[in-house]
Amino acid sequence: MKMNGCQRVSAETTGCGDCEPGLNARVPVMLAAVLAVAACGSGSDAPQSITTVSWGGSYGRAVNEGANIPFTEETGIRIEVEDYNGGLAQIRAQVDIGEIHWDVVDLEIADAVRGCDEGLLEPIDLASLPPGADGTPAEEDFVDDGRTECGVGNLYWSTVYAYNADNIPGEKPATMADFFDLEKFPGRRGMRRVPKVNLEFALIADGVPLDQVYATMDTPAGLDRAFAKLETIKDEVIWWEAGAQPPQMLADGEVTMTTAYNGRIFNAQVLEDQPFVIVWDGQLLDVGQVGIVAGTPRLEAALQYLAFATSAESMVRIARRISYSPMRKSGMGLVTTHVVAGVEMEPHMPASPANAANALRYDWAWWVDHADELNERFSAWLAR
Amino acid sequence: MGGGPGRRGRLRGAMRVPREQLRALGLVAPLLIFIGVTFIAALATMLMRSVHDPVVADALPETVALLRGWDGERLPAEAVYETAARELSRAGEERTIGQVAGRVNRVQGGLRSVFTRTARDLEDEAPDPAAATGTPWRDALIALDTAWADPATWHAIRTTGERFTSRNYLNAVDMDRLPDGTIARQPEERRIYLRLFWRTLLVSGAITILCLLLGYPIAHLIARAPPRRAALLLVLVLVPFWTSLLVRTTSWIVLLQTQGVINDILVAIGLVSDDGRLAMIYSMTGTLIAMTHVLLPFMVLPLYSVMRGIPPQHMSAAASLGATPLQAFLRVYWPQSLPGVGAGALLVFILSIGFYITPALVGGSDGQLISNMIAYHMQTSLNWGLAGALGGILLVGVLALYMVYDRLVGVERMGLH
C-alpha cells in the first residue's frame, strides 16, 4: 500500500489477472484507470486536490475552519468538501465499481468497523500519525475509546436531551426519568427516528443502572422492557431525522424537550442566545472516526490529510468552534474558549468530568450486531 | 396519440422506406442508449440483486456444499466444522468476512460479530489436529464462541449460501423460511412491510381523490377563462410546480406546526385556545396535506389540456335540449373530460406510491410509506437485495394497476398529449 496512486492504477491495467475483488463492472474500472493514467501523465507534481466528506451544518463549518483551511495553507493540496448523513452506501457503491471520488470520510464508529470488515476502508497504522502536542507518540496519545483498525478517533460527541427554559415554568427536568415523565412535565418530546440511543435512554429512565444497560438489552425481556417504556410516551413523540431539527423544534415550541446532539444545542445557546438547557444525566457518549476509502488513487494525499486532521492541534481548533472534545490526551487541556463567542468550552464538553459523571458509553459493538433486527422491530413498532 | 387506420397506413408506408426509418432510429438512438444504461440496466441490476446473492456461496463454497446434507437439527459433522474454520480464516485474510457476516446477521441477529471475531481468532489459535482427539475443530470453534454450538448459526450459513434465493421476496411480505424448510410468517414484532404496502396504497388513493376534487374545478376554470386570465391562472399552477419539493414541504411545516402560522391565526381570532393548538403535522394529516399540494399540478395540467378541447357549445346544446346543469355535466362534460381524469389520477397515484421525502419530513411516526423503508435498506442497512425485492413488488403493482386501467379506460384514451 506504499505505492502512490498512479503506479497502483497502471499496475492494475497492465496485469489485470487478479485485481478482481468486488469489481464486477470492468468498463468503468478501465475508464477510471485510463483517466487516472492520463492525470498522472500531466505531471504528478501539479497541485492535487482531495475530497473530504463530513456532516455539514455547524460541525462541517468547524471542521472546515479547524482542519481543512489550515491543511491547504500548509500543503497546497486543495480540499473539496462534500456533506452526507452517515451510512456506508455511497462508499460501497464507489468501491464496488472502482471509481472512487471520496477520499477521506468522517464516520460513525459502527460504520468505521463495518466498513473495515467489508474492505471498504484502508487500515490505518496509528504509529504513522504525528505525535501529540506535547511530543507523546501517537499510539499513547489517543485515548483507548474507539480504537478501530481503519478509523482514527477525532472527537467525543454525545446525544443528550435538552429543553427550552422559557417553555417549562417552575421545576426543571434534571434526570433521564424526567424526560419520560409526562405527568411531571407534560408536552411533546422530540426523538431521533432510530432505535439506538432511544432504547438506552428508555432503560436508564426505567431505573436500569448504567453498567447494566447493554446487558439488559442483550436479553429479549430487556428489549421488551425498553420498548414498553418507549410506548409510555409514544403518542407525544415527534420523530426527527436531521441533527438541525431538534434546536429548531425547541425554538418553535413544537416540543417541550428533545434528544439532540450536544454540539447543535451548544451552538444555538452561544451563537443564537437561545435559552436552551442540556440535561447531561444519562447522556450517551460516542466517538467520531475519520477513515480513508479503500483503493483511492490519492492515498498519499489522503493519509497526509488524515494525519493533519487528527493531530492534537486540529482537534483543538475544531473543539474551539463546536463542543466536541479531542480524543488525544495532549489536546484535552488545550481547548480554551470559543473563537467567536468567547465562552469557556470545558463546561460544555460531553467528556468533561462534571458532564460525564452519569454518562453511558455507546456500545457500538453491540449495535453493529443488532442494528438490522432492531431497526426492523423499531419500524414495525412505529407503524403500529 | 390518436389511433385509427390512417396512422397504421402511414406506418406501413414507412416500412417501405428503410432509409427514413434508419434515420429516425439514428435520431432516437442517443435517448435509447441513455435510457438503456441509466434506467433499464440499473433496474435489471437491482431486480437481479433481489434474487441473486453469491457472497456467502463464494466465500464459503465447501461449507455450503457440505451443509446441504445436514439434517438441520443436530450439530453438523466434524468435517463441516473443519471446512468452515478453514474457509472463515481465508475469508478473514481476503477481507470478505465482513460481507459474509453482514449476510448471516440478517438471518440471525448477533452473528456479525461472531463471524468477524472467529475469523480473526482462527488466524491466531488454530487447534493442532495431531494433538487432539475426537472433534478438535468443533471443540475449537465452540470454545471461540458458543454460537457455533447453535444449529441456528449453521442454518443461517445454509440459507444465505444459496446463490439464487427467494429470501428477499419472502421477507418483503413478512415471511421467512424456518430451519426445517417450511415457510412461516415473521414474529409479530417484525411484521412491517405488508402493513406499509397497504398503507402506501391507501394514502396514494386518498391523495389521488383529494387532488381530483381540488384540481377538477381549477382545471375547468382555467379552460373556460379568457386567454389572458387563463395564462395568469396557469402560472399560478406552474410556479409551485417549478418550486423545489423541499422548499414546499418545509413551507408546510412553517404553516402547520403547533406554533405555526395557521395555529397562530386560529388562536388570534379565538377559534382555539392557546393550550388547545391543533396538531396538524408530523402525522398522517401532515402527509396528506403536503403531498396533495405537491402533486396537485400533476392532476390539474392533464385535466386542463383535455378540458380545453371540449367545445363550450356542447354544454349550451345540452341546456337547450332541456338538460339541467347537473345532467349536462354528468352526461356531456364529465364523459369528455374522463381521459384527463384518467391521466391525472394515474400520474398522481404512481408518483405518490414512490414518494419519500415529504412523508419523511412531515410524516411523523404513522406517516411513513414503503419508499422510506426502501431508502433505509439502500442507504443504511445496505440490504440491497431486500430493497430490490420491495422495489420489484412495487413495480409489479404499478404495472398491474396500469393494465387494469388499460382494461377499464383504455390507454389510448388517456389525455397525455
Contact B189 A237 (CB under 8 A): no
Q: Give me the mean pLDDT over the A169-197 stretch.
A: 93
B116: nearest CB among A117, A373, A381: A117
Q: Are residues B208 and B266 in the same domain?
A: yes
Q: Are residues B360 and B254 in the same domain?
A: yes
Q: Are residues B107 and B229 in the same domain?
A: no
CB < 8 Å to A241, chain B: 360-361
User: In the listed set B142, B163, B184, which residue is the last one of a domain according to the structure?
Assistant: B163
Residue identified by cell 426492523 is A376
pLDDT in tens, A357-380: 999 999 988 988 888 888 888 888
Q: Are residues B397 and B306 in the same domain?
A: yes
Q: Give me the mean pLDDT over the A263-291 stretch.
A: 93
Tell which phi-psi region holds residue B266, choosing left (phi > 0), alpha (psi between -120 and 50) or beta.
Answer: alpha
* Distance from C-alpha of B392 to C-alpha of B398, rounded to nearest angstrom: 10
**DSSP codes, A355-367:** GGGGPEEP-HHHH
Q: Are residues B337 and B222 in the same domain?
A: yes
* Distance from C-alpha of B367 to C-alpha of B286, rounded to nearest angstrom: 8
Q: Give me the mean pLDDT over the A267-274 stretch.
A: 91
Contact B102 A114 (CB under 8 A): yes
DSSP A165: G
Residue A241 Cα, gap to closest chain B Cα (Å) = 8
Contact B282 A382 (CB under 8 A): no
What is the domain count for chain B? 3
pLDDT in tens, B5-61: 444 545 555 455 678 888 888 899 999 999 998 889 989 988 999 999 999 999 999
pLDDT of residue A105: 96
B382: nearest CB among A21, A88, A253: A88
Question: CB–CB of A294/A190 below 8 Å?
Answer: no
DSSP B356: -
Does residue B175 lie in a domain region? no
3-state helix, strand and coil shares in percent for chain B, rounded to the nearest 5: 75, 0, 25
Q: Over 60: is that where the pLDDT of A44 sits? A: no
pLDDT of residue A129: 92
Stretch among A253-257, B121-125, B319-323 having the lowest mean pLDDT? B121-125
Strand partners, A211: none
> Residue B127: which pLDDT band, with cuts at 50, 70 and 90?
low
- What is the pTM (predicted TM-score) of this model? 0.76
Q: Quote the distance between the C-alpha of residue B110 and its chain's center.
A: 28
Strands (E), chain A: 49-54, 78-83, 104-108, 152-164, 189-192, 237-240, 257-261, 276-292, 325-326, 360-361
> Residue A33: which pLDDT band, with cuts at 50, 70 and 90?
very low
CB of B360 within 8 Å of any CB in chain A? yes
pLDDT in tens, A131-143: 998 888 988 899 8
Q: Are residues B131 and B236 in the same domain?
A: no
Among B45, B95, B186, the residue to mutate for chain A (most A Cβ within 10 A) = B95
Domain covering A157-286+359-383 in this structure, CATH number: 3.40.190.10
pLDDT of residue A255: 92
Q: Are residues B280 and B390 in the same domain?
A: yes
pLDDT of residue B126: 60
Residue-range domain boundaries for chain A: 5-41+48-153+288-332, 157-286+359-383
Strand partners, A189: A237, A257
CB of A344 within 8 Å of any CB in chain B? no
Q: Over 50: is that where the pLDDT of A296 sits? A: yes
* Distance from C-alpha of B191 to C-alpha of B170, rounded to nearest angstrom: 12
**DSSP codes, A185-228:** S-S-EEEESSSTTHHHHHHHHTT--GGGHHHHHTSHHHHHHHHH
CB < 8 Å to B378, chain A: 89
Does residue B177 lie in a domain region? no
Domains A5-41+48-153+288-332 and A157-286+359-383 equal at CATH topology level: yes
Q: Are residues B251 and B300 in the same domain?
A: yes
CB < 8 Å to A21, chain B: 94-96
Q: Please tell me which residue of chain A has the smallest CA distance to B257.
A: A254
pLDDT in tens, A318-332: 999 999 999 999 998
CB of A252 within 8 Å of any CB in chain B? yes
Burial of B130 (0-12, 13-18, 19+ CB in 10 A): exposed
Question: CB–CB of A78/A72 below 8 Å?
Answer: yes
Cβ neighbours around B69 below 10 Å, total: 9
Residue A162 Cα, gap to closest chain B Cα (Å) = 19
Residue A85 Cα, gap to closest chain B Cα (Å) = 10
Q: List CB contacts of A306: < 8 A, sequence separation 6 or more.
A: A104, A124, A129, A152, A290, A292
End-to-end CA distance of chain A: 51
Cβ-Cβ pairs closer than 8 A, A with B, add up to: 96
User: In the listed set B163, B185, B215, which residue is the last one of a domain according to the structure?
Assistant: B163
Does residue B180 lie in a domain region? no
Q: Give me the mean pLDDT over the B386-413 stretch.
A: 84
Q: Quote the distance between the C-alpha of residue A20 and its chain's center.
A: 32
Q: Name the class of domain A5-41+48-153+288-332.
A: alpha beta
Q: Are residues B208 and B74 in the same domain?
A: no
CB of B129 within 8 Å of any CB in chain A? no
CB of B116 within 8 Å of any CB in chain A? yes
Q: Are residues B305 and B367 in the same domain?
A: yes
Q: How many helices (H) and strands (E) does chain A have?
A: 17, 10
pLDDT in tens, B320-349: 999 899 999 999 999 999 889 988 998 899
> What domain range includes position B334?
193-413
Among B365, B372, B384, the residue to mutate for chain A (most A Cβ within 10 A) = B365
User: In the listed set B51, B70, B87, which residue is the last one of a domain according to the structure?
Assistant: B51
Stretch among A252-261, B18-27, B159-168, B177-186 having the lowest mean pLDDT? B177-186
CB < 8 Å to A192, chain B: none
pLDDT of residue A288: 93
Does residue B182 lie in a domain region? no
Q: Over 60: is that where the pLDDT of A10 sits? A: no
Does residue B338 lie in a domain region? yes
Does residue B186 lie in a domain region? no
Q: List CB contacts of A35: < 8 A, sequence separation 6 or more.
A: none
Strands (E), B156-269: 175-177, 183-185
Q: Are residues B289 and B322 in the same domain?
A: yes
* Distance from C-alpha of A189 to C-alpha of A260, rounded to nearest angstrom: 11
Q: Are residues B201 and B336 in the same domain?
A: yes
Stretch among A158-167, B24-33, B142-151, B406-415 having the lowest mean pLDDT? B406-415
> Residue B208: which pLDDT band, with cuts at 50, 70 and 90?
very high
Cβ neighbours around A298 below 10 Å, total: 25
Q: Please tell me which residue of chain B has the smallest CA distance to A193.
A: B365
DSSP H helical ranges for A76-175: 89-97, 109-117, 138-141
